[in-house]
Amino acid sequence: MDWFWRLLGRGETSALGELRRIIVLVIEGLEPALVDEYLEQGLLHHLTLLSDIGDRRSLVNSAMGADGRSLGDAIGKLGLPAVELRPPDPRQPVDLAAICAADRQQQEQLFAALGRSRPAVVVGVFDMPARLSEFFAPRPDESQRLVLRDIYARMDEIVGKALSFVDARTVLLAVIRAPDTGEVATPSASAGLLFCNRRLAVPSAQNHSLEATIAGLLQPTETDR
């Protein structure tokens, strides 16, 4: 539980200008409405913690900026050292076991990288929920709903593991990307949720791209200089 006390002690150091690293978890394919429902039920403990000690924002399409597949490149273009770790393709034939195995491999890759190096921004993309969506009917039955619940809990556990790498100079962002419906969405349409272990200085994350929000966290304010 050392990471928990480090989080609570985040105010003991000066502010955002002293950040050394931002960890971004991009979780693709979770329904924001279901995330809210499971938060109320107390299932998603680590996302609840981020919301309680930091910030939670809704995101619209225009705020998502670069999608999860190019977020690392977009951050790099802002002059920030960044590394993006994409999940491996599951082995063939693609089934539940193969997708779970690919997810475990991605977790191992990300957390090994977090333990080895400290680039300014580390992006880890997790697409297990999006890949599994094709296995569920538009209206899941009771057994499928139980599997979905387990998937959401598994993604929350990844957030908890990432918290063990957070200290006073590290920020954790959990970006929930809503499923792709295949429809043309307007810039103001709901696209997901953003959780952070710190309060975001921007008035509304809805109106800022993810890469701009991340860059802003690493830039000292006038009072920090």
Q: State pLDDT tens for residues 92-107.
A: 888 888 999 999 999 9
Bin 79: left if φ > 0, else alpha if -120 < ψ < 50, else beta.
left
Average pLDDT over residues 142-159: 92
Distance of CA 74 to the CA centre of its chain: 16
DSSP-assigned letters across all residues of 59-90: EEHHHH-S-TTTHHHHHHTTT--EEEEPPPPP
Average pLDDT over residues 146-156: 94
Q: What is the mean pLDDT of the chain?
A: 79
In the prediction, which pLDDT does 51 show?
Answer: 93
CA distance 66 to 58: 16
Q: 3 pLDDT exceeds 80?
A: no
Percent of the chain with pLDDT over 90: 40
Residue 184, H or E segment: none
CA distance 45 to 51: 10
Identify the band that residue 8 occupies on the pLDDT scale cut at 50, 70 and 90.
very low
pLDDT tens for 164-191 read 999 888 999 999 998 876 554 554 556 7
Q: 202 pLDDT exceeds 90?
A: no
Identify the band that residue 137 occupies on the pLDDT scale cut at 50, 70 and 90.
low
Average pLDDT over residues 131-154: 85
